[in-house]
Amino acid sequence: MNTTDHAHPWIQTLNASLDELEGELLKSNAMGVEMASARVQSVLQQAPRTAEINRPGSLLRPQMEAAAQRFGRLRQAVIQSAARSQREVESLLPQTADAVTYGSSRGSSGAGRAYHLSA
């Protein structure tokens, strides 16, 4: 039996919003991605209560885990798309690029923090 056959209504709504986000990413529609991301965020804020998720015999937990994995992959794609768009804008309009300087990491190990300075 496929768990999507008996998906919780919230999972169905989440999957529909993730489908929309994926479609906008595939079309490289920045405004569409932004709007679809906001809808996904809105759906996530309406998640079922913990008691409903933990109810014995409930398929909600595995459905949520599958949706979370998909959301993670799409989130990474959104981040990559945004970075690519930013690089494209900066290559076409170099004056829009922020100057980046690196602060020292006094008292800590590892890399310092990057600070964006507007011109």
HEC per residue, the chain: CCHHHHCCHHHHHHHHHHHHHHHHHHCCCHHHHHHHHHHHHHHHCCCCCHHHHCCCCCCHHHHHHHHHHHHHHHHHHHHHHHHHHHHHHHHHCHHHCCEEEECCCCCCCCCCCEEEECC
Of 116 and 80, which is predicted with more confidence? 80
Return d(Cα 4, Cα 19) in angstroms, integer: 14
Residue 32 has pLDDT above 50, yes or no: yes
pLDDT grade for 115, boundaries at 50, 70 and 90 = very low
Mean pLDDT of the chain: 81
Mean pLDDT of all residues in 90-117: 59
Domain count, the chain: 1
Mean pLDDT of all residues in 88-101: 74
Q: Which domain holds residue 77?
A: 3-104+111-117
Of 4, 14, 20, residue with least CA distance to 78: 20
Residue 72 has pLDDT above 70, yes or no: yes
Of 72 and 88, which is predicted with more confidence? 72
Residue 105 has pLDDT above 70, yes or no: no
Residue 110 has pLDDT above 70, yes or no: no
